[in-house]
Amino acid sequence: MRKITIFLFSFLFVLTSCGDDKENKVILSNSSGNINNLSVIIENDLWNGEVGEAIRRILAAPVDGLPQEEPLFSISQMPPEAFSGFVRKNRIFLKVEEGKEANVKVAENPYARPQTGIKISGQTDQEIIDQLEQHSEKIISTLKATEIKEKQRRIKKSLKDDTRLEKELGISLKFPTAYRYAKEEDGFYWIRKDIPNGSLEILVYEVPLGTIQKDTNVIGNIIAMRDSIGKAHIPGPLEGTYMITEEAYAPYLFESQIDGKFAWETKGTWEVKGAFMAGPFVNYAVLDQENNRYVVLEGFTFKPSASKRDHMQELEAILKSAKIK
């Protein structure tokens, strides 16, 4: 009898557990929010003081490589008591708690899916600020990765055929049907999308390994490569004009990865030599040692006198989807 009782109890426990899983799946509804909109949950007095200043300084800092200042994230602040109901579905949020042990935690899908929450705590204002400053790179990269992943999810709903890229360059790239192939010549691909008062542009090509020498002036090598490609393939509006890297300011250079491969990531401003046209670009030179080459993936935007942050993030999401076969 005792064995039967234990069996029935175990069986009921399993059923209850399964029921809980199903209930959790129902509770975790789809997250919401525009790309790069960050909810900051913090008491009003902290937000209006030094802690709020630190949050704005770090998370609303200017995006690297844009011609005009635009913040990393568009921030909406609310006190903890307002963080309930539909508001909890916001895809990315930062929650500040004072009077607790100093710490930074990342919460995955706590109230919706997909969702990333950053929880920062400290006994005092200064402890909270210290946590923000010490972990700023991790906080920013975690939130940005969530937004890139979300943008890629949206892009996958309607994909353009990339067969020609795979056949000629061995590269798979996920980009929407709103883009079109504007130019294909000598292993060089120019893909573009028209937007109101401007355009989004993607370049895909390959160069020999010796084009970028790691032990020398890497940024100088990349600028020379970009300018030679611009002169050969990207003409400006007037005869004899073509795209180059802006000469007044050196681009930002980072080490990155695409498809698990090392990549030089360059962000800066392009301009048209001999014409008044300019805009931001992001360039990935991906090391493909097996094929003795760098695969170059670049995105740039032309939209005068308008914000470009979200357009550049769309291009970044597309380029980071690349698979090199």
State which residues form the domain around 305: 156-324
Q: For the purposes of burial, counting CB atoms within 10 Å of the CB of 255, is it exposed (0-12), middle (13-18) or buried (19 or more)? A: exposed
Please list, in sequence order, all residues whose beta carbon lies within 8 angstroms of the beta carbon of residue 154, skipping any fewer than 6 positions away: none
The reply to whether 56 falls in a domain is yes
In the 8-state DSSP scheme, what is residue 285?
Answer: E
pLDDT the model gives residue 325: 87
Residue 16 lies in a domain: yes
pLDDT of residue 1: 47
161 and 247 co-located in one domain? yes
Indicate if 50 and 71 belong to the same structural domain. yes
Residues 141 and 168 placed together within one structural domain of the fold: no
Specify if 32 maps to a domain.
no
Tokens 């090598």 belong to: 221
pLDDT at residue 24, as a whole number: 46
Domain of residue 291, CATH code: 3.40.1000.10
Identify whether 90 is part of a domain. Answer: yes
Same domain, 43 and 18: no
Reading the block at residue 223, the tokens are 């600028």
Q: Is the pTM of this model over 0.85?
A: yes
Kindly state whether residues 245 and 275 are assigned to the same domain. Answer: yes
Same domain, 6 and 111: no
Please tell me whether residues 309 and 165 are part of one structural domain.
yes
Specify if 166 maps to a domain: yes
Assign residue 292 a region: left if phi > 0, alpha if psi is -120 to 50, beta otherwise? left
End of a domain among 132, 149, 166? Answer: 149
The whole-number pLDDT of residue 213 equals: 86
Q: Which of 98, 131, 149 is the last residue of a domain?
A: 149
Residue 31 inside a domain? The answer is no
Digit-by-digit pLDDT tens for the chain (325 residues) are 444 444 434 433 333 334 444 444 456 789 999 999 999 999 999 999 999 999 999 999 999 999 899 999 999 999 999 999 999 999 999 999 999 999 999 999 999 999 999 999 999 999 999 999 999 999 999 999 999 999 999 999 999 999 999 999 999 999 999 999 999 998 999 999 999 999 999 999 999 999 998 777 999 999 999 999 999 999 999 999 999 999 888 899 999 999 999 999 999 999 999 888 999 999 999 999 999 999 999 999 999 989 999 999 999 999 999 999 8
Answer yes or no: do 41 and 171 share one domain: no
Residues 6+ apart with CB under 8 A from 144: 72
Residues 223 and 82 in one domain: no
Q: What is the pLDDT of residue 193?
A: 98
Amino acid type, 165: L
- Tell whether 120 and 215 lie within a shared domain: no
- Same-domain pairing of 129 and 172: no
Residue 30 located in a structural domain? no
Neighbouring CB atoms inside 10 A of 105's CB total: 10
- Quick one: pLDDT at residue 247? 86
What's at 21, amino acid-wise? D
d(CA 101, CA 113): 28
CATH number, domain of 92, equals: 3.30.379
- Could you give the number of structural domains in the chain? 3
Q: Does one domain contain both 122 and 199?
A: no
Q: Is residue 235 domain-resident? A: yes
